[in-house]
Amino acid sequence: MHSEPSFALPGRSTPAPADRDRLDAAARFVREQDTPVLLSRVLPGLDGPELRALTDRCRFAHAAVLVFPPDERALRAELAACGLPADGPARPSVVVRDRLAARHGHHPGDLEVRILRPEVRGPAEERRTVEVFALSVPPGSGLSRIAADERGADREAHLAFDVEHPDPLVLRGLLASFARHGAAPDGGGYNPHEDGTVFYLTAPEGTKTPYRRVELYAGGDHRDVLAEHLAGTPAARYPRQPDAPRRPDVPRQSDAARPAETLLRLLTGAWTTQALAACAELRLPEAMDRHAGKRVPELAGAVGAHPRGLAVLLRYLAGLGVVSRGPDGYRLTDTGALLDDAAPASMRPLALMYGGPFYASFAHLAHAVRSGEPGFDRLHGENHFDHFARDPGLAALFDRSMASSAPLFDPLPGHPVLTAAATAPGRPRTVVDVAGGTGELLGRVLTAHPALRGVLLERPQVLPAARARLTALGVGDRCSCRPGDFADVPQGADVYVLSRVLHDWDDDRCRTILRHCADAMPADADLLVVERLLPADDSPSLATAWDLHMLCNTGGRERTADHYARVFGECGLVLAGSAPLALGAHALHARKAPEEAAGG
């Protein structure tokens, strides 16, 4: 027996339940639902072969609910009371914020909407989440009218299915099945940060669940199918109402003012970089606590700051979600905790690099655009590799900043090439990480596959830190660290890895690097290249931002998959496949071209 949540449906006249009841109901729903049964309830009349086909392609992933706590601490207490782990990061939810602003006539800046995804387990112990959107409504706030209306209507509540092994044919078939049973398109989008595509639908009138919106999530870039889906989505499902309530002290923006505000927000992006860098430099995260608040004078004394200056910085950081403010003072959020130097996968070195050496060179971006010469070179009179080599402290900071992107590597040890090497019979297989930094990636690969051996090739000055890291990971006895450059790629290994190397260089230098790898590779060896890929069109992408960074700081570039395929081909290699990773990265799999492998 699968119970249903008890919160009100849109249009019902029953009183709106409290947030804890709604959270508890959503959590119970996620824990209890069986995917085939749920699909048949979402789409009444779905049975037989079509139900089996959908069940083979979809799995229930989460349910979402919008709640209205007075602050983040109260939210986490409510989650804990419902048995929902509340230790994940709370991030801004721009989409829900903008929908609420449009429905209720508020400026988006007045609404602080956050999102948390506490994990729960399904009936067969499968991993699922409750997607919790939270609009902060302090006591006495004028936002209480929004909370009352939204609690009663529950417009943001939805349930979601993940699509297994999506491809265009599968997605079109799934969307057609939902449409046949009365579901209507209701928006969607592509998220380059996750490399995933979302399709929203309105459930049919006869649906037997409390949810009126359905999400289908497909990993990868499926914008061709998305465009067809969006063509059937109403252009303005939640238009702003002329008499919608709004704060009386905030006048409506004129159409002419909106572009000016947009441009001002863009122009102040540099301030955000510097605020985060200052937070890291002052070691504010180390002086703060994620559980107990600290007041400004206490923090100022701890970090050696002027109290008023620190108060201004903290207020700005609170707007970014890096710290939060409560009755007992400021405390660190999970996002801000990543700037703590002692945190696992700390991003403090990255903040110091982006707010320091790389930030300074961006003052010369116009020069880089005019001349093609990196701004860094103009500022320092030499390229950044030579500059860092003469400054050991800066070089060490750069190496640590590269390790800050460790989440990029999380899926890579599971790549089929590495799994096949680890399970191959006979002698132990060897993985060579070319220019592997301090060993973060190679250490993860060897940890995941005890049967593999490793070789890390790096500059001599980096190797002590690499040996220490590999030893700390418990794989030092299976990995040798060799000094050298790209001309010294070891011969005869089974898998070669180039992670975030090629984007530092122009095509000529890339071809040189790849030819050294190809010359060292046996006929049956594999090459994995980890890089961000530029989209084939002008759609938003992290790679687009990094392309600008490479232009200004290294003289390198990001590339499309087709561009990499051409460069591989010029070096006797063939692009065999591509798999998405985190943070917009991909693992490109290359092998020797048949004629090269045959010695021709």
In sequence order, the 6+-apart residues with CB closer than 8 A to the CB of 279 are 285, 313, 317, 322, 336, 339, 351
Torsion angle (degrees, nearest 10) of CA 7, 13, 19, 20: -50
Helices 296-303 and 307-320, packing angle to 10 deg: 110
More confident residue, 491 or 289: 491
Beta bridge partners of 63: 130, 159
Q: Mean pLDDT lowest for which of 191-200, 230-239, 248-257?
A: 248-257
In sequence order, the 6+-apart residues with CB closer than 8 A to the CB of 195 are 219, 220, 221, 580, 581, 584, 586
Angle at 98 between CA 94 and CA 103, to 5 degrees: 155
Q: How far is CA 355 from CA 120, 121, 276, 360, 414, in A?
A: 38, 41, 8, 8, 34
Please state, for a pLDDT cut of 90, what percent of the chain lies above it: 44
pLDDT, tens digit (0-9, with 9 covering 90-100), for 185-206 = 988 887 765 678 889 899 998 8
More confident residue, 386 or 1: 386
Print burial letters for 559-588: b (CB count within 10 Å at least 16), e (below 16).
bebeebbebbeebbbebeebbbbbbbbbbb
Instruction: Quote the longest CA-to-CA distance of the chain.
Output: 79
pLDDT at 48 over 50: yes
pLDDT of amino acid 15: 43
Torsion angle (degrees, nearest 10) of CA 100, 103, 106, 109: 30
Tokens of 324: 């939060």
pLDDT of amino acid 246: 35
pLDDT of amino acid 10: 36
**Whole-structure pTM value:** 0.58
Long-range contacts of 291-296 (CB under 8 A, 24+ apart): 291/331, 292/328, 292/331, 293/325, 293/326, 293/327, 293/328, 293/329, 293/330, 293/331, 294/328, 294/329, 294/330, 294/331, 295/328, 295/329, 295/330, 296/329, 296/330
> If you average pLDDT over residues 29-47, what whole number do you get?
88
Tokens of 190: 């592509």
> If you average pLDDT over residues 75-82, what whole number do you get?
88
Structure confidence at residue 240 as a pLDDT band (50, 70, 90): very low
Which domains does the chain show, CATH number per domain?
19-230 (3.10.180.10), 262-343 (1.10.10.10), 359-403 (no CATH), 406-597 (3.40.50.150)
More confident residue, 448 or 324: 448
pLDDT of amino acid 7: 32
pLDDT, tens digit (0-9, with 9 covering 90-100), for 401-442 = 877 766 666 788 989 999 999 999 989 999 999 999 899 899
pLDDT at 207 over 50: yes
**DSSP per-residue codes, 326-350:** ETTEEEE-HHHHTTSTTSTT--HHH
DSSP state for residue 460 in the 8-state scheme: G
Structure confidence at residue 13 as a pLDDT band (50, 70, 90): very low
Which of helix, strand or coil describes residue 76? Answer: helix
> If you average pLDDT over residues 266-294, what whole number do you get?
89
Report the sign of the C-alpha dihedral through residues 397, 401, 406, 409, in that order: negative
More confident residue, 456 or 210: 456
pLDDT at 219 over 60: yes
In sequence order, the 6+-apart residues with CB closer than 8 A to the CB of 330 are 288, 293, 294, 295, 296, 299, 314, 318, 323, 324
Select from 181, 136, 130, 176 the least CA-distant residue to 157: 130
pLDDT, tens digit (0-9, with 9 covering 90-100), for 522-543 = 999 999 999 999 987 766 677 8
Which of helix, strand or coil describes residue 374? Answer: coil
The whole-chain average pLDDT of the chain stands at 85
Structure confidence at residue 252 as a pLDDT band (50, 70, 90): very low
Q: Cα(429)–Cα(453) distance, rounded to whole angstroms?
A: 6
pLDDT at 563 over 50: yes
Q: Cα(160)–Cα(164) distance, rounded to whole angstroms?
A: 13
- Where in the sequence numbering do the catalytic residues fall? 503
pLDDT of amino acid 544: 86
Please state, for a pLDDT cut of 70, what percent of the chain lies above it: 90
